[in-house]
Chains A and B, each alone.
Chain A
Amino acid sequence: MAETADAIHHHEAPRGFIRKYIFSLDHKVIGIQYWLLALVAALVGMTLSVLMRLQLAYPNQEFGFLKWIFPNAAANGTISPELYLSLMTMHGTIMVFFVLTTAPQGGFGNYILPIQIGAADMAFPRLNMLSFWTTFLAFVVMVLAFFAETGVIGPIGGWTGYPPLSALGEIAGPGEGTAVMLWIISIALFCIGSLLGALNFITTMLNMRTRGMTLTRLPLTCWAWFTTAVLALLSFPVLLSAGILLLLEHLAGTSFFIPANSIVNGKLLTDRSGGSPILWQHLFWFFGHPEVYIAIVPGMGLTSQVLSTFARKPIFGYRVMIYAIFAIGLLGFFVWGHHMFISGMAPMTATVFSLVTLVIGVPSAIKTFNWLGTMWGARIRFTAAMLFAIGFVSLFVSGGITGLFLGQTSLDLHLHDTYFVAGHFHMIMGVAAIFGMFAGTYYWLPKMFGRMMNETLGKIHFWCTFIGVNCIFIPFHIMGIMGAPRRYSLHWNPVTGEGLQYLQTMGPLTKFASYAAFFTAAAQIIFFANLIYSMFKGPKASENPWEATTLEWVIPSPPPHDNFGGHEPTVYRGPYEYSVPGAPKDYCMQTDPEPSESPESEH
């Protein structure tokens, strides 16, 4: 193995617990911090969703344990409409920001990207530390919102926080005062953290690649993290600005989003005028649509990596995969209006957004075809990581394909803001992205902690979760077709006759989805037990337990402080050279020289 003796970006290993594990500059520690934060957030978000499913399956029924969890908000043991809406808002916000945006990019990206490109650390280690702690602070502020008001456990507004509801303050109802302010502050902090992280990712990938690591030898994970960072860099500043404007509505009495002559709760607001509620929607979705790709694109990269590793085949159409990711990232900035077809936006504008939206389905379909091509003629090793990657592809198809309904302006006349939408985005940006995170955890945990996870438990976890999530979210589509609106604390209460009559027969579907949710949530105990046990007591992992090819697998598990021991690895090959004819093993590491070639010859 040829290595140069030039130590790049060398810094001393820190001593002392605080510098090593808390305020660490090491991208690996920061990656694990992000990942742990996301795990905690995922537990919180999942718990909230279980409580929501409980209310939907048993509307307004009394449960003794609710008094114990929410002594103020559920003093009588039932979930009130306002408590339900605050559960829903916090579930969405925590899942989108602190799980889907945090783990795939901040967690795995931070840990793996520098190693996969052969660098000793991120380009700006201090900035990296700052971005994590800003994100952590954002989470603390979000948690404070749980306790800000009595009767609710946070703001009421959904993760989209549409004004004027979110801008008017207490007069608009419970959860619109202090809780919503803390929510905005948290999101603003999160934007800053993500922005700093994005700068770091882009610089690192462009500048710090090791010798021989040309752009077309980069693993697809790196391309995915890079594209995600570009999306974050361009979209988070817009949300940050919008968030500041919304905060000023509360603190300074401005009127960016509140029009003249608003009459709220019987009171004419004489001090507000000139604002536009739709302005927020444009700003929010200019961020919000790229955001769904920020959640899913790292999962696409990860799936490519894991599929290729365990299929023992090079990725099918490597370059096409990169072009497709770029196309998704680029087109992702021109489709935000499809969230607003019926918002009051001009109908012709909606048509333009609709057409671009249908086109963005093409690169997504291309990725699916290439994943299938990768597995065609393969010799698949069914590890837990591989199962979750295959599950990702299945969920990506099921969740993505319903976009063909929702992208059409005409069909949105009925489907918009129904459970059909909730089913669509939970399948694709929710559980598909989470399957990416599970695949990443099973795949990289041996590298991160030097211990193997239990494969049998991992497989049981996969079977339960894959069946479970399909049982939860596929019925959502039928509910949406029936016309069930989102964000309702009850659709039909058979006991009191409260609710929407046309949804009287939906009960069995609702209950089925709820039971599936309880089952799926319970199955996650298997994952957490396996994770915690394996992190400390699992069998020791070798350097390259999966017989994979990329650079993280040439160094010890866990890697030393500066990754490559002060030496710069040299790369001779593409990232996915599996089953090369004539090679002694069924994989060739990126650092294995080709007999006839020098590293520079392919430039």
Chain B
Amino acid sequence: MGKALGILIWLLVVGVVLLFLAHDIWGSAQTWWLPHAISEHGAAYDSEFKITLVVVAIAFILAQIALGYVVFSYGANKAGRAVYSHGNTRLEVTWTVITLAVFGTLGVMGQRVWAGLHFNEAPPGSISVEVTAQQFGWNFRYPGADGQFGRTDPKQVDDSTGNPVGIDEKDPAGKDDIVSTTLSVPVNRPVHLILRSKDVIHSFFVPNLRFKQDLVPGMAINVHFTPIETGRYEITCAELCGLGHYKMRSFLDVMSEEDYAKWLKDRAPAQ
């Protein structure tokens, strides 16, 4: 029984390692991994992920192999009595210090990407977009040619008349605001999002960006990131928001400066 269990635990290790390497080994499984990164911080994220993976893999493999080994080796059929020992202080101190050092280092390293994104404001020259989520859709508002968002008034919010975020018609700054259901941004320019929600908590998640942030009613959360590759990427909602949660999605369109300018122009209100 012990030998079989020891072998099973070792096989488990082999199975897990194969599953985590499947995207490298088999062509048909190549998508079983992080999706292609398209943001400036994406490469740093992926390298932090890889470092953690290596540390975790070493710890996982050593611990499971050791467990398999003791189970394999120390069955009751072995001659004599078990070793009578209450422990070993030097060993305890050694493994405590080593794990503290390794985990502590990982913890500190794990702040780098986070700090780079969140400990400073959006750099000058960013594209500002206000995101207003609602059950179960996204509204992306651009300030228009004047670079200023118009005032909003919750009483004027009306999805049916095409004013889902409630732009106040009395404010001239709001006249040229553009509201879209998809997010279009130029490539290689920092994007500054102002995240809001009308009703319940939602979460803005773009796997290719390596970025996620909740949208909380009553709060305006400012975040920024820089997409560095053009293309169409899916935006999903990552916080349970009701029965339509699974289909609350949209697209991030990263385009060239020219295409972006054209996109804006096509949507500018005729005046």
A299 is an interface residue with CB less than 8 A from chain B: no
A376–B92 contact, CB under 8 A?
A: no
A318–B86 contact, CB under 8 A?
A: yes
Please give, as numbers and ranges, the residues of chain A lying within 8 Å of B115 by CB-CB distance: 347, 351
Give per-residue flags for A385-401: 1 if the beta carbon is below 8 A from chain B beta carbons, else 0: 00100100110011001
Q: Name A485's closest neighbour in chain B (CB-CB).
A: B238
CA distance A411 to B112 in the complex (A): 10
A483–B207 contact, CB under 8 A?
A: yes
B114–A351 contact, CB under 8 A?
A: yes
A165–B83 contact, CB under 8 A?
A: no
A490–B246 contact, CB under 8 A?
A: yes
Give which listed residue, B52, B71, B118, contacts A411 with CB less than 8 A.
B52
Q: Which of B16, B96, B118, B200 has the largest number of chain A CB atoms within 10 A? A: B200
Give which listed residue, A162, A165, A312, A499, contacts B76 with CB less than 8 A.
A312
Please give, as numbers and ranges, the residues of chain B lying within 8 Å of A509 by CB-CB distance: 32
A380–B239 contact, CB under 8 A?
A: no
CA distance A286 to B112 in the complex (A): 26
CA distance A359 to B103 in the complex (A): 7
User: Total interface residues on B, using CB and 8 Å?
Assistant: 106
Which B189-217 residues have C-beta < 8 A from chain A? Answer: 198-201, 203, 205, 207-208, 210-214, 216-217
Please give, as numbers and ranges, the residues of chain B lying within 8 Å of A175 by CB-CB distance: 243
A164 is an interface residue with CB less than 8 A from chain B: yes
Give the shortest distance, in Å, between B23 (CB) and chain A (any CB): 8
Q: Name B31's closest neighbour in chain A (CB-CB).
A: A505
CA distance A565 to B212 in the complex (A): 62
B78–A379 contact, CB under 8 A?
A: yes
CA distance A358 to B117 in the complex (A): 21
The A/B interface has a contact count, at CB < 8 Å, of 355
A348–B119 contact, CB under 8 A?
A: yes
A382 is an interface residue with CB less than 8 A from chain B: yes
Please give, as numbers and ranges, the residues of chain A lying within 8 Å of B63 by CB-CB distance: 368, 372, 397, 401
Give which listed residue, A173, A359, A409, A466, contacts B242 with CB less than 8 A.
A173
A358–B218 contact, CB under 8 A?
A: no
Q: Name A478's closest neighbour in chain B (CB-CB).
A: B32
A438 is an interface residue with CB less than 8 A from chain B: no
Sample of 20 A–B contacts (CB below 8 Å) = A263-B154, A268-B155, A277-B218, A311-B74, A344-B216, A354-B110, A373-B88, A379-B76, A379-B80, A387-B5, A390-B71, A398-B64, A407-B107, A411-B110, A414-B49, A416-B212, A482-B32, A482-B35, A483-B35, A500-B236
Residues of A within 8 A of B (CB): 80-82, 85, 156-158, 162-165, 168, 172-176, 258-266, 268, 275-278, 311-320, 342-344, 347-348, 350-351, 354-355, 357-359, 361-362, 365-366, 368-370, 372-373, 375-382, 387, 390, 393-394, 397-398, 401-402, 404-405, 407-414, 416-418, 459, 463, 466-467, 470, 474-475, 477-478, 481-483, 485-491, 498-502, 505-506, 509, 578-581, 586
